[in-house]
């Protein structure tokens, strides 16, 4: 029979672990050049877009300034017209013009005297001033015709 003999185990040698170098992906030069070109194009497009927005904003500001200038001119004109109309209202509403118009065109006259009634200290008639014969000639109210009573 065969006998099995156990051999003494020899000390095992452990292999030192060699560090494997890490793998690095190396891009091809053509691909790297293409990536740089794409980046340059994107930067260029971004710069052009920003400049375009600046130009559009500046144009909008100029248009608004033009509108403001036109509105200022319209306001000045409207204020001039308002001043002229205030002057005309003052002229048309003057008491001398109204009295002159009433006597000439409406044939109205002031009474020669007024009797003061109860509650007054004086019971005598008070003469009223008569309108001046030479009243200034001012425009007539709208719809009035000269000489047509």
CA distance 113 to 127: 5
Question: Do residues 96 and 132 touch, judged by C-beta distance below 8 A?
Answer: yes
Is the pLDDT reported for residue 21 higher than 90?
Answer: no
Cβ neighbours, 10 Å, residue 100: 19
Whether pTM exceeds 0.75: no
pLDDT digits (tens, 9 = 90+) for 46-94: 999 999 999 999 999 999 999 999 999 999 999 999 999 999 999 888 8
The runs of H, that is alpha helices, within the chain are: 29-92, 95-105
């Amino acid at each position: 029979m065969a006998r099995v003999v156990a051999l003494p185990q020899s000390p095992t040698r452990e292999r030192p672990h060699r560090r494997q170098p890490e793998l690095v992906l190396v891009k091809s030069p053509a691909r790297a050049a293409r990536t740089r070109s794409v980046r340059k194009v994107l930067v260029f497009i971004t710069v052009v877009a920003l400049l375009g927005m600046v130009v559009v904003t500046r144009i909008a500001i100029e248009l608004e300034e033009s509108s403001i200038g036109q509105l200022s001119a319209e306001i000045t004109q409207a204020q001039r017209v308002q001043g002229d109309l205030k002057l005309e209202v003052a002229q048309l509403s003057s008491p001398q013009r109204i009295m002159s118009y009433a006597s000439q065109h409406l044939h109205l006259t002031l009474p020669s005297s007024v009797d003061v009634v109860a509650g007054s200290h004086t019971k005598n008639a008070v003469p009223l001033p008569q309108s001046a014969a030479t009243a200034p000639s001012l425009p007539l109210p709208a719809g009035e015709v000269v000489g047509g009573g």
